[in-house]
Amino acid sequence: MNNLKIDISLLPTNAQNELYDFYEFLMYKYTNRRETTKINVEDIIPRKIEPFEPLNRKDIYER
């Protein structure tokens, strides 16, 4: 199946478009796109945050 040739001109135009969309989906799914995605270490390092203070019911409903 390495050199598979398909004649899509036999299909109606809407079927050709659908087949092309599916081809693009498969290319996106199976090509190696991980090389282009760089992970920033700063994004995954835990950072210090202030402790959560529960909300007071009076403060919530005050206007």
* Domain contains 42: yes
Percent helix, strand, coil in the chain (nearest 5)?
A: 50, 0, 50
The DSSP call for residue 9 is G
Question: What is residue 1's predicted lDDT score, i.e. its pLDDT?
Answer: 65
* Domain contains 2: no
What is the mean predicted confidence (pLDDT) over 2-20? 91
Count of structural domains within the chain: 1
* Domain contains 48: yes
* Domain contains 1: no
Q: Which domain holds residue 42?
A: 11-61
The DSSP call for residue 8 is G
* Domain contains 30: yes
* Domain contains 51: yes
Q: Is the pLDDT of residue 61 over 90?
A: no
Question: What is residue 45's predicted lDDT score, i.e. its pLDDT?
Answer: 85
**What is the distance in angstroms between the CA of the first residue and the CA of the last residue of the chain?**
70
Q: What are phi and psi of 28, to 5 degrees?
A: -65, -40
Residues 6+ apart with CB under 8 A from 10: none
Does the global pTM surpass 0.75? no
Tens of pLDDT, residue by residue over 16-58, are 999 999 999 998 888 876 666 677 887 788 888 889 888 888 8
What is the mean predicted confidence (pLDDT) over 10-15? 94
